[in-house]
Amino acid sequence: MRGLLAFIGGAAILYLAFKSIGNYVSNNLSLVKTSIKTGSITASGIPLVVALHIQNKTNLAIPIDGFSGGIFYDNNEIAPVEINSTVTIQPNKVSIVQIDSFINFLNISSTIKNLIASGQLLAGLNLKGDLRFEGVNVPINHSISLFG
């Protein structure tokens, strides 16, 4: 019985420590800038390079497990943005993570129709999604700078 209680106590301590580290990282990791560079327009769409400028305010290198989200015009997604591999954000610095994406003309035709119908033609671009670190999701909703 004591062994079981010790195991449960140890697991609880590990859980609380992990949660505390996750909160510390999510409070000290932030997206400070998002920019886009466009490639040459093709018949099927526009290739993009999305640059995420991620600030790490800790003394530790932080491995980001991924990002899942998209570029949105108003509330309409126009391009997916995904990181499916680990990227390390250096301590006490802003690291720039570049991600290839693509605006597919076939996928945005209904988005354009919705924008015209809603009258939201002058909305800005946003990056929305979740940055993942060791099972902790850091929600991102950030304006995108098109020129820099």
> CA 32 → CA 94, 111, 143, distances in Å?
8, 28, 10
Assign 91 a pLDDT band (cuts: 50, 70, 90).
very high
Mean pLDDT of 125-141: 87
- Mean per-residue pLDDT over the chain, rounded: 79
Alpha carbon distance 126, 140 (integer Å): 9
The angle subtended at Cα 51 by Cα 46 and Cα 52, nearest 5°, is: 135
- Please, are residues 52 and 36 in contact by the beta-carbon 8 Å criterion? no
- Examine the pLDDT at 16 and tell me if it is beyond 50: no
- Examine the pLDDT at 5 and tell me if it is beyond 60: no
Assign 17 a pLDDT band (cuts: 50, 70, 90).
very low
pTM, two decimals, is 0.72
- Please, are residues 97 and 51 in contact by the beta-carbon 8 Å criterion? yes
Alpha carbon distance 83, 70 (integer Å): 11
**What integer pLDDT is reported at residue 30 of this predicted model?**
86
Assign 53 a pLDDT band (cuts: 50, 70, 90).
very high
Mean pLDDT of 29-53: 89
- Examine the pLDDT at 148 and tell me if it is beyond 60: no
Assign 35 a pLDDT band (cuts: 50, 70, 90).
confident
**What integer pLDDT is reported at residue 18 of this predicted model?**
47
- Please, are residues 86 and 64 in contact by the beta-carbon 8 Å criterion? yes
Q: What is the 3-state secondary structure (H, E, C) of the chain?
A: CHHHHHHHHHHHHHHHHHHHHHHHHHHHEEEEEEEEEECCCCCCEEEEEEEEEEEECCCCCEEECEEEEEEEECCEEEEEEEECCCEEECCCEEEEEEEEEEEEHHHHHHHHHHHHHHCCCCCCEEEEEEEEECCEEEEEEEECECCC
